[in-house]
Structure 1
Amino acid sequence: MYDAMPGKKTPPPRDRRSDALRNRQELIRAATAAFHRDGLQVPMSTIAADAGVGVGTLYRHFATREDLLAYLTHRSFEQVLANVRSAEVDGIEPIDSLRRFVDAAITQRNDLVLPLHGGPSITSAATSEVRRQVHDTLRRIIDRGIDAGVLRPDTTPKDVVILGSMLAQPRRADPDWDRTCHRLLEAYLRGIRQDRPAPNSLTGMPSIK
């Protein structure tokens, strides 16, 4: 924080904006870590201290704990939406798209504040809309796999989301645990895989058994 003292230059507006942006980024990082570590009722003063700023700075960016949690939740759902959109790439097999989507969640496990990770329930219509888009995109990926005969017809977006949330619970870095998570992911993907029916030799159409 800058003090208006004799002989001390006041930083120009651009520097103040840079400081404010840096403080906000540090608060987001510290708050995410604190909520994972200490739960949703962690003191706001602890978050400010972890971010290296005064508690007044925290309240200038987020007026209440609820505002902070709502922001982190919305931000996390936007990241999940970016992940699933990245996974929905033309030319990539649906199984590989689902693998890429869950892999991203595992990698970002400590950056996300989500209801299935112990975060708060969604209270914003905007956040609910982002969540809907995540499920709709997963539905397109899954339907493409079902239509191609490579995914079981009972595969659902909800199942994929729950699996991802289970494998991506926030925790300390642990390569052995990450390898376990990826083995479990591969086991799930094998379970929903369905071989395409062999074509009928006379009609060229898939055989119906």
Structure 2
Amino acid sequence: MRADAQRNRARLLAAASAAFARAGVETSLDDIARDADVGSGTLYRHFPTREALVEAVLDDRYEALAAEAAKLQVEHSPQEALLAWLKLFVNHLMTYRGLAASVTAALHNETSQSHSACHAMRAAAYEVVAMAQRSGAVRDDIDASTILHLAAGVAWAGEQSPAGRAGVGQMLAVLIDGLHCNSRLPRAPD
């Protein structure tokens, strides 16, 4: 990539990150191009779809979440590592309004561009969950994918709540309590 194209891409990513934090992932792509001081054509040459732009902005964040999962596993008990990582994941999802829904959709859609960007983060999360389950601290009848979806639901609910982040801690605490081995309830009928 030419130097000017690299600069334009970097400016687009910085502008997109700021715009997503300010107005959510559904913000105007034309506004992002204007904030980056490039034309819309330049934006679409680098990122042909909104999903491609969101994926590019999130790549570094997913890598950081994967690295943090590995670090937490070394430094904490399996249960503490899972709980700390879930808090980081929910906070990540709440960085950009609308991200929780995008990530949930990507987790279901293997053909999505964002699905591949989530792969390393998901694999790390699955290992944190598996380690907590092997230790006996976390229920083994709930798979990691379900736990990620529930955490995304907590983030989404926090986005929708007038209280915002204030209620997220309590919702996350309920989720975490439900993961403990001693909290098994009879299965609800399908």
Q: TM-score range by the shorter chain?
A: 0.5 to 0.7
Provide closer, same or farther for how the CA distance between residues 63 and 44 of structure 1 changes in structure 2, counting only shifts above 3 A. same
Letter in 2 for 1:131: C
Q: Percent identity at matched positions?
A: 11
Offset of residue 86 of structure 1? 0.4
Q: Which digits, 9 at most, give the CA deviation of each residue in 1:40-84, with x for residues without a partner?
A: xx65333334x1625x1x432432763443132244255234214
Equivalent residue for 1:181, pick from 162, 168, 173:
168
Equivalent residue for 1:66, pick from 28, 45, 48:
48
Structure 1: how far apart are the matches of 2:97 and 2:78? 24
Provide closer, same or farther for how the CA distance between residues 73 and 185 of structure 1 changes in structure 2, counting only shifts above 3 A. same
Corresponding residue number in structure 2 for 1:167? 154
Is the 1:114–1:120 contact (alpha carbons within 8 Å) kept by the matching residues of 2? Answer: no
Q: Which digits, 9 at most, give the CA deviation of each residue in 1:93-146, with x for residues without a partner?
A: 233222222322333323487573379756868754443333322222222222
Bigger helix share: 2
Is the 2:90–2:155 contact (alpha carbons within 8 Å) kept by the matching residues of 1? Answer: yes
Corresponding residue number in structure 2 for 1:32? 20
Corresponding residue number in structure 1 for 2:130? 143
Structure 2: how far apart are the matches of 1:112 and 1:19? 27
Structure 1: how far apart are the matches of 2:175 and 2:98? 24
Offset of residue 167 of structure 1? 2.3
For normalisation by structure 1, the TM-score amounts to 0.61
Corresponding residue number in structure 2 for 1:100? 84
Matched residue SS, 1:63: helix
Is the 2:12–2:32 contact (alpha carbons within 8 Å) kept by the matching residues of 1? Answer: no
Equivalent residue for 1:87, pick from 56, 66, 69:
69
Give the root-mean-square deviation of aligned CA atoms.
Answer: 3.9
Q: Which runs of 5+ in 2 are unaligned?
A: 183-190
Provide closer, same or farther for how the CA distance between residues 184 and 171 of structure 1 changes in structure 2, counting only shifts above 3 A. closer
In the alignment, is residue 116 of structure 1 matched against residue 101 of structure 2? Answer: yes
For normalisation by structure 2, the TM-score amounts to 0.66
Structure 2: how far apart are the matches of 1:35 and 1:118? 17
Structure 1: how far apart are the matches of 2:43 and 2:16? 10
Structure of larger gyration radius? 1
Q: Which runs of 5+ in 1 are unaligned?
A: 1-13, 196-209
Corresponding residue number in structure 1 for 2:145? 158
Provide closer, same or farther for how the CA distance between residues 193 and 119 of structure 1 changes in structure 2, counting only shifts above 3 A. closer
**Paired residue total:** 174
